[in-house]
Amino acid sequence: MGPDECARWTQTYDDRGNVTETDYFGVRDQLILGPDGYAKIIAQWDPDNDEIAAQLYGVNGKPMIGPKGYASWTARYDARHNDLEWACFGLKGEPVVDKDGLARWTATYDDQGKALTVQKYNADGNQIQAY
């Protein structure tokens, strides 16, 4: 096992060079939990090379709740690649809170790309913080 707690890891890339899948393997070439607490992650990217979604998988190859409290997440970006929204979900696609107590956050930016507002929400969609 190497310093990243796995014997081998593999990555798959799209035609633009974005990593679309990462898998972690043990010494017997079986899926194992990697350094971030999942065995596999499959990511989706938009045409502007922003990572817009990811799904976590366990050692059995099935979706799993990762150490941060969610099974998948989605994100949206503006034309300047500023994060507009991030949300996390459970095994059935339901909103869940992450280890920091957030299910979703949104942000707005000025014309220079500086953050103007950030709103944080719980799994029920209620705003829990804004600044």
Provide the domain limits for residue 37. 1-64
pLDDT tens digits, 23-52: 999 999 999 999 999 999 999 999 999 999
According to DSSP, the residues that pair with 56 across neighbouring strands are: 41
Q: Which of 40, 64, 88 is the last residue of a domain?
A: 64
Cβ(3)–Cβ(9) under 8 Å?
no
Residues 17, 59 within the same domain: yes
DSSP character string of 111-131: TTS-EEEEEEE-TTS-EEEE-
Cα separation, 123 vs 18, whole angstroms: 30
Give the global pTM: 0.91
- pLDDT averaged over every residue in the chain: 95
- Based on the structure, what is the number of domains in the chain? 2
* Mean pLDDT across 84-105: 97
Residues 55, 81 within the same domain: no
Residues 48, 91 within the same domain: no
Q: Which of 12, 43, 64 is the last residue of a domain?
A: 64
Q: Which of 20, 49, 64 is the last residue of a domain?
A: 64
SS3 73: strand
Cβ(45)–Cβ(51) under 8 Å?
yes
Residues 80, 112 within the same domain: yes
pLDDT tens digits, 53-86: 999 999 999 999 999 999 999 999 999 999 999 9
Residues 17, 31 within the same domain: yes
Residues 107, 73 within the same domain: yes
Would you state the pLDDT for residue 69?
97
